[in-house]
């Protein structure tokens, strides 16, 4: 995936679903369920049990319109292994070796940053978008403050984003939100897939409403 394509997809879909589970098979089922519900940007964290296998199987199982990414990419080796597993985009918790390797490999990267200096460094270093993390530290008001000096930076708040907060972040200028446990719940650990489907629909409703669709 090209960097511009990824940024366009963030702006269009507005939701990055984050899967992080203790059970590999349950994590795979979670990815497939999210895809079935219409979520098209799904991140599998490297903290997931047997993460690379889950990523590879997910890439082979979902429709090509679903873009599988890899999260918690910290080192250059993490970035290499993520791409080899079939991920088409990468998410980092911070700037560092994983970010630099992803950029060098021309893989779109959602780069973790919190401060103004980190956000500028991420953009200058080749990030497709800035993952505002942990967003819960400052909330929508902090994003709004960052947008004043950096109105053109694409920010994606991640960390403690529930459906209500998602709407508030969109109002503050986020291009998309990244959502982990408030969406996935216990599904990646073997929990209720029916409840997961309902949460997915709730989040998609918020994203579509804020997008005006």
State the catalytic residues. Answer: 43, 131
Q: What is the DSSP letter of 80?
A: H
Closest by CA to 41, choosing from 74, 4, 83, 10, is: 10
- Cis amide bond preceding 134, omega within 30: yes
Three-state secondary structure of 125-189: HCCCEEEECCHHHCHHHHHHHHHCCCCCCCEEEECCCCHHHHHHHHHHCCCCEEECHHHHCCHHH
Q: Would you call 110 helix, strand, or coil by DSSP? A: strand
Contact residues for 212 (Cβ-Cβ < 8 A; gap 6+) = none
Query: CA 95 to CA 191: how far, in whole Å?
Result: 33
């Amino acid at each position: 995936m090209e960097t511009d394509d990824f940024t366009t997809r963030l702006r269009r879909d507005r939701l990055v679903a984050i899967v992080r589970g203790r059970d590999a098979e349950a994590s795979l089922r979670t990815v497939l369920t999210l895809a079935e519900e219409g979520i098209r940007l799904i991140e599998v964290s490297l903290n997931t049990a047997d993460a690379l296998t889950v990523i590879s199987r997910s890439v082979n199982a979902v429709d090509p319109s679903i873009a599988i990414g890899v999260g918690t990419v910290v080192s250059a080796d993490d970035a290499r292994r993520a791409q080899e597993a079939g991920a088409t985009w990468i998410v980092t918790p911070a700037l560092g070796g994983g970010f630099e390797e992803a950029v060098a490999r021309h893989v779109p990267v959602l780069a973790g940053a919190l401060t103004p200096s980190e956000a500028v460094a991420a953009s200058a270093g080749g990030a497709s978008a800035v993952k505002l993390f942990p967003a819960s530290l400052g909330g929508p008001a902090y994003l709004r403050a960052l947008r004043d000096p950096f109105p053109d930076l694409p920010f994606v708040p991640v960390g403690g984003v529930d459906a209500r907060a998602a709407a508030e972040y969109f109002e503050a200028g986020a291009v998309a939100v990244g959502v982990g446990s408030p969406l996935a719940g216990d599904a990646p650990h073997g929990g209720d897939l029916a409840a997961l489907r309902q949460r997915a629909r709730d989040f998609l409703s918020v994203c579509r409403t804020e997008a005006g669709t």
